[in-house]
């Protein structure tokens, strides 16, 4: 049997050991509660123009950047377009007809043809009346009437031609083209027209044939600048092999890189808009994003051309721009 005094010593040792362990555990837990590792919030500087993230800041993992102008990505200028007219074989041998995207355009072209024929007739009649008047067979009244008819027909022809040219078509060329020709119209900002001349080669991709490209030629630049969009219509001619392309089809035109100037192209979701102004975010320093106001040009559903505010080589936020927008503007 263990003496009572020894039992007491053993019990005392067990109690002291238990207390020691409890103190160590309590101290560890207390120390852990005093120094928790919390993620650090983003720091907004200069009224939202600069946003700084620490390494463990929440949201940093959803922000992705891309260096524009590298590896051929986000460089080529693109513009939306549509196929406005095509030439097709006619039932008459040696002739072709022109198909348009709308009945209104067809009516304009028919009116142009009729006015052209009327002008030819009135001019021939005027020459005949002049000759008759010279030989005292026709009166001065007949001469004035013939001159008036010719002037009216000329004015009517000019009206129809002007309306067709306003949408980008040259009616004089439509009837002379081959039966495989098609024309698309693209709206290009006036600031992008410096190096785009007649005869420039372009690449066309149609929504109906996304995996195929057509080579086209910038046949003519519009004479007028749209006062609202500040764009000019560019007419592009392409060969419609097999007559697969139909009037009204939508397309995207890639213009030659040399027409870019200082502009660049970025994903459309990189741009945020606040109170009518457009902004992007650029990572100038690791984990620091700067807000920049930009001027936009032509755009498609996926990409947009930036005319001012960016240069090639900038690291632009291509994912997570909405998060930065909320931090920058306090939304």
The 10s digit of each residue's pLDDT in 18-70 is: 555 554 444 545 444 445 545 567 888 988 899 999 877 878 888 999 888 66
Q: Residue 15's pLDDT is what?
A: 55
Which domains are seen in the chain, by residue range? 43-75+261-329 (2.40.420.20), 101-174 (1.10.287), 178-255 (2.40.30.170)
Mean pLDDT, range 79-86, rounded to an integer:
89
Quote the mean pLDDT of the chain.
80
Whether 229 shows a pLDDT value over 80: the answer reads no
SS3 state of residue 86: strand
Residue 105: CB atoms within 10 A of its CB come to 19
Whether 141 shows a pLDDT value over 80: the answer reads yes
Whether 91 shows a pLDDT value over 70: the answer reads no
The 10s digit of each residue's pLDDT in 93-134 is: 656 788 999 999 999 999 999 999 999 999 999 999 999 988
Instruction: List, in sequence order, the alpha helices (H) in 135-225.
Output: 140-166, 171-174
Model confidence band, residue 184 (pLDDT cutoffs 50, 70, 90): very high
Q: Residue 188's pLDDT is what?
A: 79
- pLDDT over 70, % of the chain: 77
Q: Residue 221's pLDDT is what?
A: 79
Nearest to 321 by CA among 286, 285, 284, 278: 278
Q: Provide the b/e sequence for 86-95 (b: ≥16 CB within 10 Å).
A: bbbeeeeeee
CA–CA distance, 165 with 331 (Å, rounded to integer): 47
């Amino acid at each position: 049997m263990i003496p009572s005094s020894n039992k007491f010593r053993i019990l005392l040792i067990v109690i002291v050991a238990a207390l020691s362990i409890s103190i160590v555990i309590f101290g560890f837990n207390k120390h852990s509660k005093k120094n928790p590792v919390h993620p650090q919030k983003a720091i907004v500087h200069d009224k939202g123009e600069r946003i700084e993230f620490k390494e463990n800041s929440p949201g940093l993992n959803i922000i992705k950047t891309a260096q524009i102008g590298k590896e051929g990505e986000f460089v080529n200028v693109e513009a939306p377009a549509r196929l406005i007219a095509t030439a097709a074989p006619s039932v008459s041998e040696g002739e072709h007809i022109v198909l348009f995207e709308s009945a209104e355009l067809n009516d304009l072209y028919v009116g142009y043809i009729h006015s052209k024929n009327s002008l030819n007739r009135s001019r021939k009649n005027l020459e005949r009346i002049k000759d008759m008047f010279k030989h005292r067979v026709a009166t001065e009244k007949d001469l004035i009437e013939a001159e008036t008819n010719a002037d009216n027909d000329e004015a009517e022809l000019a009206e129809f031609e002007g309306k067709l040219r306003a949408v980008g078509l040259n009616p004089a060329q439509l009837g002379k083209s081959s039966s495989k020709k098609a024309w698309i119209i693209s709206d290009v900002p006036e600031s992008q027209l410096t190096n785009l001349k007649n005869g420039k080669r372009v690449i066309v991709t149609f929504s109906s044939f996304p995996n195929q490209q057509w080579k086209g030629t910038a046949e003519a630049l519009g004479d007028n600048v749209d006062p609202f969009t500040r764009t000019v219509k560019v007419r592009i001619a392409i060969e419609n092999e097999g007559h697969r392309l139909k009037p009204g089809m939508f397309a995207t035109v890639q213009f030659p890189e040399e027409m870019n100037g200082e502009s660049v192209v970025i994903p459309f979701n990189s741009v945020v808009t606040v109170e009518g102004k457009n902004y992007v975010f650029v990572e100038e320093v690791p984990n620091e994003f700067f807000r920049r106001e930009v001027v936009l040009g032509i755009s498609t559903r996926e990409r947009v051309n930036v005319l001012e505010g960016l240069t090639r080589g900038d690291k632009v936020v291509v994912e997570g721009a909405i998060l930065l927008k909320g931090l920058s503007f306090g939304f």
